[in-house]
């Protein structure tokens, strides 16, 4: 379901397409997701959340600074987008745009995903001495900017919007770190 949402959108992904794509028995899908497509959509959003949490955590663990961590995470994201010939993007943004006003359950799953990415980024910034309020505000800007850049990159069939976005947010992060006395 996750890949189909990325390529066809939530509305364009029917249960029969999911069953065919997964090569799963129809009864198995209904057994695991008795509430139907909406429950499957929530599971797909949760999986996307977990996958990108791992990207962020891995980047944070291996990078020398918060700005470098964001660059590493966005590079991984750019590779996914370009490696799919710009067919794959963020399924969370797709579901948010298509279903956020239609399904409270799907909207809440999307909120949870965005909140988790903001929380991880906030913690990374706090670890550099930025106070929690400023760190959360900056983390929200980072996640929002990158999400928008993914959409523009797909539309333009270019990773340049992602590269431009990460340059700007990395500079913001470096400036904020310097303002609290962290220099790298």
Tell me how far apart the alpha carbons of residues 32 and 116 are, in angstroms, rounded to a whole number. Answer: 25
At 13-42, the pLDDT tens digits run: 888 888 888 888 888 877 788 788 899 999
Mean confidence (pLDDT) of the chain: 93
* Residues constituting the chain: 184
Residue recorded with tokens 């663990």 = 61
pLDDT surpasses 80 at 183: no
pTM summary value: 0.90
State residue 142 phi and psi, 5-degree precision.
-60, -55
Domains and CATH numbers, the chain: 2-179 (1.10.357.10)
């Amino acid at each position: 379901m996750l890949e189909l949402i990325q390529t066809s959108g939530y509305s364009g992904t029917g249960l029969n397409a999911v069953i065919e794509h997964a090569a799963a028995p129809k009864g198995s899908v209904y057994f695991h997701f008795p509430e139907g497509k909406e429950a499957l959509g929530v599971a797909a959003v949760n999986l996307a959340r977990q996958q990108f949490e791992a990207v962020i955590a891995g980047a944070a663990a291996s990078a020398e600074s918060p700005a470098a961590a964001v660059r590493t995470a966005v590079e991984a994201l750019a590779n996914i987008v370009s490696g799919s010939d710009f067919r794959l993007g963020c399924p969370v943004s797709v579901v948010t745009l298509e279903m956020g006003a239609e399904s409270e359950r799907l909207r809440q799953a999307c909120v949870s995903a965005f909140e988790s990415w903001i929380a991880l980024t906030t913690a990374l910034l706090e670890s550099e001495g930025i106070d929690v309020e400023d760190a959360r505000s900056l983390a929200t800007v980072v996640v929002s900017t990158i999400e928008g850049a993914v959409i523009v990159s797909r539309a333009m069939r270019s990773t340049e919007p992602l590269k431009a976005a990460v340059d700007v947010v990395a500079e913001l992060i470096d400036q904020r770190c310097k303002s609290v006395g962290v220099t790298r």
